[in-house]
Structure formats: C-alpha cells, structure tokens
C-alpha cells in the first residue's frame, strides 16, 4: 500500500498523492489538519457531496462512540443547513491524520473541501465531543469559543 503524502502551505494543501492511491480511489474521505484548519479530502467517487451540501452554513464535527456499529471512537461530519435533515458523513478515526485535542471542543476552525482539482469550498467548522453517534444535533453557535489560531 502506498503511503499517504500531504504537503502543507499553511491552511492549504500544496501537494497530496491522496487522489492517486488506494484510499483516494475508493469512497473513503480523509480529514487532514494543519495550521488551525481541517481539510476534507473528497475522492472522485464522492463528488456528488458538493451538490448535496450547497446550502451548508457551517460544519459540525462530532467525535464519540458509535455503539450500533460497535465502534468506541468515531467521527461525524455534519453539514448544517438548518433543514432538519442535514447531510452527514460518518468515518473511522483512522481516516484522519491528526485530530484536535479534547480541549478544542467548542472551538471554531476553518473547514475546507479538497478534490483532485484543488480547494472547492471553505466553511466555518465547530468541534464537539459527544457520548454517542449519530448525533446530528445543531451546534449552539452562541456557545462557540474564540476562533482557533494555533497550529493543530
């Protein structure tokens, strides 16, 4: 298996081989964090996501157990559009290169979506720890912590 390479330029990705390796050619999304930003690498087989999230106002990433599938540590990426049925992706923690610390729960981050063609969209993103997934609950924006500016 070819190792994943991601070269960073601050919040941006200057190079990645993700879209050329097994993970990127499959349906697996990948989360990469750098310089206070969380980047979603979206494989070609998931490109329809860009249409599904057009009305998204912000992203909420929840981390917690997903007992119904037997996982004690899992990630939910919810694209909040205030429709009552937001689009969400659930993924393994192993599909992340680095996760923000527990102390970052409630903080705002920059979230960007990357395809083989480059950055497609940037949105505000909020992190939270939850006891159980799926969560799919709105994030209380009024309770957010100051924007995160340190490297993660």
**Domain enclosing residue 67, as ranges:** 6-135
Instruction: Judge whether 15 lies within some domain.
Output: yes
Flag whether 146 is in a domain. Answer: no
* 1 within domain boundaries: no
The count of structural domains within the chain is 1
| CA–CA distance, 150 with 152 (Å, rounded to integer) | 6
List the chain pLDDT tens, one digit each, 152 residues.
899 999 999 999 999 999 999 989 988 999 999 998 999 999 999 999 999 999 999 999 999 999 999 999 999 999 999 999 999 999 999 999 987 778 888 899 999 999 999 999 999 999 999 999 999 999 987 655 554 443 33
Is position 56 within any domain? yes
Please report whether residue 149 resides in a domain. no
Q: How many Cβ atoms sit within 10 Å of the Cβ of residue 84?
A: 7
Q: Which helix (H) or strand (E) holds 62?
A: strand 58-66
């Amino acid at each position: 298996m070819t190792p994943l390479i991601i070269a960073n330029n601050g919040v941006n990705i200057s190079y990645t081989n993700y879209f050329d390796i097994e993970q990127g050619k499959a349906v697996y999304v990948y989360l990469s964090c750098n310089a206070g930003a969380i980047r979603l690498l979206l494989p070609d087989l998931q490109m329809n996501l860009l249409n599904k999230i057009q009305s998204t106002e912000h992203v909420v990433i929840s981390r917690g157990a997903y007992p119904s599938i037997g996982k004690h540590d899992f990630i939910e990426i919810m694209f909040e559009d205030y429709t009552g049925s937001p689009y969400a992706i659930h993924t393994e923690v192993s599909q992340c290169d680095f996760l923000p610390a527990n102390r970052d729960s409630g903080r705002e981050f920059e979230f960007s979506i990357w395809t083989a063609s480059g950055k497609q969209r940037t949105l505000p993103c909020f992190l939270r720890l939850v006891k159980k997934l799926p969560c799919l609950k709105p994030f209380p924006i009024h309770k957010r912590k100051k924007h995160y500016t340190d490297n993660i």
